[in-house]
Structure 1
Amino acid sequence: MIRIDGLKKNYGNYTALENIDLELLNGEFIAILGPSGCGKTTLLRLLAGFMKPTEGTISIDDEIAASSSKLVPPEKRNISMVFQSFALWPHMTVEEHIRFPLKHHRFGKTNAKEEQEKRVSEALEMVGLSHLKDRYPAELSGGQKQRVALARAIVPKPSLLLMDEPLSALDAELRMEMRREIGAIHRKMGTTIIYVTHDQGEALAMADRIVVMNHGKIEQIGTPESIYNTPQSVFVSTFVGKGNLIKGEWVNEDKFIPADFPAVSWTDIGIAKEIKAQNLYPVRPEQWKLGEVDQNQMTGIVQFAQFQGNEIHYSIQSGEEMINVYASVFEKRFLPGDSVSLKIYTGTAQKAVLVGSR
């Protein structure tokens, strides 16, 4: 188990991390999600042992690994790391890369030739590179290079695997494929994984829990479902899922009246107090139901309609708000210039209901 208490990191007068508290269970897949400059890579570097925190502690299995006065270096921690840049050596073959940790990793080192052969073979098979074991990095595609880096990281069987935006250099199709590979490896090995990313799709698809960060602080920690469906701050509601923040007024704890539509009211569907305090109502693009103009509903004018295969993405001007709506291609189609009403779906996918008007 890894425990982070009151972690802070300063670079001169700049505070990169402030008051970070986090507990990671053995075997958990944790995604650290946030925009560039939010502190997620700094947190990863502290967990790796590359530097000391300014304040606070990092404990691994109840022993302090880092504090302002103590630092257990990376080579004395049972960890591996996968970098965005692959970090492969041009003079070594795929097989030599994967064998390297078995010769030099403090915790994964083994001198038994048969054991080395077995573990290298298992790692190659896990990442689907058995047929390319004699190739050099210059002879590999981007996706193959990332598989080599991944196999090299997992072959010593670390207790903690750190991944710093490992898929950002790959194209969209390869990213989807590698997500499946990493997920399968995690299920098979049970290693604790901390995965840094700015891609919400990766975090939602792969993680057991997500840590959303902004300006060096943790905004919210939770399962992908709780982060997406019940954001606890304005930042989380817009960064994860690109939600619409509708302005208006909370008349009381459970009734919201959108601006410019006094005849409309929406009920509370579990909206956080912080968001309510700013008189906002978050709505995901897929929560909207478009229909013909109804004066008892919020209305707007379609500005753009983009075909996206199984969805139509609409941009709708409603008063001063530009609202994003994702609608199924099987629903009634609207064109730019059409006037529409906007209702809100709530509930589960199996049983959706509409937030009614008063």
Structure 2
Amino acid sequence: MSIQIKQVSKSFGSFQALHSIDLTIKDGEFVAILGPSGCGKTTLLRILAGFEQPSSGEVLMDDLVVAGSGTLLPPEKRRIGMVFQSFALWPHMNVSEHIRFPIRTHKSTPSHIKNNEKNRIQEVLNMSGLSHLADRMPHELSGGQKQRVAIARAIAPQPSLLLMDEPLSSLDAMLRMDMRREIQQVHRNTGSAVVYVTHDQGEALAMADRIIVMKDGRIEQAGTPQEIYLRPETEFVARFVSKSNLVTGHWDDDVFMPKDGNNISWPGKQVGKYFKSHGLYPVRPDQFQLQPSGKAGILGEIVNVQFQGKEFHYDIRSDATRWEVISPLPFSLNDQVSLSLSSVSGEGV
């Protein structure tokens, strides 16, 4: 299913949740909508699902207008599946019954699935690794198993579009990693388009074909995970996705001179126009090269150290500025150090 969102805005009373959103999602594409709480990502997902009607603009699915002025096609007629943050399992149904329910009740379920219900249930159980749990009730399942059931239920009627609203946020860190792989496998197996709402940068970067970064109801930047992470176009994207330090200084064409550096310059051909026009250089924590004081660079003092196994996370104070730095090199609290741009980090970000 291909999706076109054209000039969609949404207001709740005097509050403008979405501002003129334009977005196209290709058939089979995995799109992550990334942003902080209140940025409008869930509102956009609810409009795609048919739970909300846009205040202006329209949504087309396979060239059919499903939401717009005077038009709102209900969710059950959109061939969509949805996975919620809360799992939303029914306590009186076992795993197989959860999978059977949408096959029987969704009006858009293809006839070849309805006519082979038993085979489809078994196929989905196998695909989601739930065959041995088919007769279990929700209270007998772990958090990860419940999330698999929620995903299995969503894909059972073979939707053309799978909508996921922060589905992993209630799981612990190790389980989230496992479930990322599960969701990727489901996407490969089904071929459905996926719209995945999250505030977790790691999830979006790991799974999506394309990331839509939102802020205050607007699209801040859209691109591949590599483009978003390595080449942010705005200060918000640099800080929110890449966790970048914004170094102030002066640009001379594609060469940057940090204000607090002692006669140093950094190459920056690929740094975005926004940063050049504002005298900034975004440096991810892992891009900084940490050296003992006396070396050329930005001088500072280590004010906090966190050991993370293969690397150290440092907070470094330089006059009134604090930098976040990730380095494999061991330094101690209160050490005087020098910061430069790592030669292996490439030009810009």
TM-score of the superposition, structure 1-length normalised? 0.93
Give SS of 1:38's match: coil
Partner of 1:138: 139
2:340 pairs with one of 343, 347, 352: 343
CA contact (8 A) 1:59 1:65 kept: yes
Name the SS for the 1:151 alignment partner. Answer: helix
In the TM superposition, residue 66 of structure 1 has moved relative to its aligned partner by 0.9
Q: Quick check: 2:180–2:203 contact (8 Å CA) kept in 1?
A: yes
Could you tell which deviates more after superposition, 61-70 or 80-89? 61-70
Rounded Cα–Cα distance in structure 2 between residues aligned with 1:145 and 1:17:
32
Q: Which string of whole-angstrom CA distances, capped at 9 and with x for unpartnered residues, describes residues 150-194 of structure 1?
A: 000011110000000001111111111100000011111111000
Q: Counterpart in 1 of 2:326? A: 326
* Number of equivalenced pairs: 347
Code of the residue aligned with 1:191 in structure 2: it is: S
Alpha-carbon offset, residue 301 of structure 1: 1.1
Residues of 2 paired with 1:136 and 1:213: CA distance? 38
Amino acid at match of 1:28: E
One-letter identity of the residue aligned with 1:151: A
Larger displacement relative to structure 2 (271-280 or 77-86)? 271-280
Structure 1 position 45, deviation (Å) = 0.4
Larger mean CA deviation between 220-229 and 302-311 belongs to 302-311
- For 1:202, the equivalent position in structure 2 comes to 203
Q: How far 1:318 moved relative to its partner?
A: 1.6
Q: Name 1:106's counterpart in structure 2.
A: 107
Q: How does 1:251-266 map to 2 (within 5 A)?
A: 252-261=252-261, 263-266=263-266
SS in 1 for 2:36: coil
State the SS of the aligned residue for 1:66. Answer: strand
Shift of 1:68: 2.4
Following TM superposition, where does structure 1 have runs of at least 4 consecutive aligned residues deviating by more than 6 angstroms? 111-114
Match of 2:300 in 1: 300
**Cα displacement (A) at 1:139:** 1.1
CA RMSD, Structure 1 to Structure 2 (Å): 1.7
Report the counterpart of residue 237 of structure 2 in structure 1: 236
Deviation digits for residues 212-267 of structure 1, max 9, x if unmatched?
000000000000000000000000000002111112232x3322222233522222
Change (3 A) 1:354 1:99: closer
1:354 offset after TM fit, Å? 8.5
| Greater mean alpha carbon deviation, residues 221-230 or residues 137-146 | 137-146
After TM superposition, give the deviation of residue 113 of structure 1 in Å: 7.9
Question: Contact between 1:344 and 1:354, CA under 8 Å: does it hold in 2?
Answer: no
- What SS does structure 2 have at the residue aligned with 1:248? strand
CA deviation vs aligned residue, 1:83-109 (integer Å, no higher than 9, x gap): 111111111111100111111111226
User: 1:1-358 to 2 correspondence within 5 Å?
Assistant: 1-108=2-109, 110=111, 115-250=116-251, 252-261=252-261, 263-294=263-294, 296-328=296-328, 332-345=329-342
For 1:178, give the aligned amino acid: M
User: Structure 1 counterpart of 2:35, which letter?
Assistant: G
* Bigger mean CA deviation after superposition, 10-19 or 265-274: 265-274
Q: Any gaps of 5 or more consecutive residues in structure 1?
A: none
Structure 1's 113 and 203: CA in aligned 2 closer, same or farther, altered over 3 A? Answer: closer
Q: Could you tell which deviates more after superposition, 315-324 or 294-303?
A: 294-303
In the alignment, the residues of structure 2 paired with residue 192 and residue 353 of structure 1 have an alpha-carbon distance, to the nearest angstrom, of 34
Which amino acid in the other structure matches residue 333 of structure 1? Answer: P
The answer to whether the 8 Å contact 1:343/1:354 transfers is no
Percent identity, please.
54
The alpha-carbon deviation at position 208 of structure 1 amounts to 0.2
Paired with 1:354 and 1:207, the residues of 2 have a C-alpha distance of 25
The secondary structure found in structure 2 opposite 1:37 is coil
What secondary structure, in the 3-state scheme, does the structure 2 residue paired with 1:138 have? helix
Q: CA separation in 2, counterparts of 1:353 and 1:28?
A: 29
Q: Distance in 1 between matches of 2:70 and 2:111?
A: 33
Shift of 1:136: 0.8
